[in-house]
Amino acid sequence: AHPVRGIELLDTVFYRERRAYLVGRVFGEHRFSPCVIVLVNDGQGLRADAVLTRRRDVAHLFGVSRSYFQANLGTVGDAVVFLRSLLPGKPIDEIYTVLGRAKQGKTERYRAFFGHFLDHPQEQLVHAEGTPGMVMAVFTLPSYPLVFKLIRDRFAWPKAMSRQQVEEKYALVFNLDRVGRLLDA
């Protein structure tokens, strides 16, 4: 264990579901670690529910498969830069998205994809591995970590639904049941 030399917290409190999160970093002699204090207000009053100091735990908390954080950020870019310092492996588009800035997240994801595409001009989209879906066609670049889903014009039997019904089902999953299923795209 290394002695703690200081703690730095963002002024903004992040909210999601019934919890509040104080986000910052803990400084040691020659390095720093993320520090997230999870607060709950229950029958016992306000209390710390958890303290996260491992990058992988904080990265999971800021994962795009979870609900957006609600936060009154004066300058979103400053918060993104700070979070990138805590989570250097996390793509910038994911950070914008989880902060509720879906359009900026999409813009950054688009830039990253087309930057990758320009760096690999000979590569072509291919059907993703796995069993083809009845409702969606799924494509990927072999060297890129995301897949792209397109709603088919016609659905294979026994699917008897319209494109609108498919879009409504995806909207339901997107809005109510965000457990690792859908990325804002």
Active site residues: 184
3-state secondary structure of 105: helix
- How many Å apart are CA 48 and CA 70, to the nearest integer? 19
- How many Å apart are CA 50 and CA 41, to the nearest integer? 13
* Residue 136 near residue 151, CB atoms below 8 Å: yes
Encoded tokens for 163: 């494109």
- How many Å apart are CA 137 and CA 118, to the nearest integer? 24
- Beta-strand ranges (E) seen in 43-135 are 45-52, 126-127
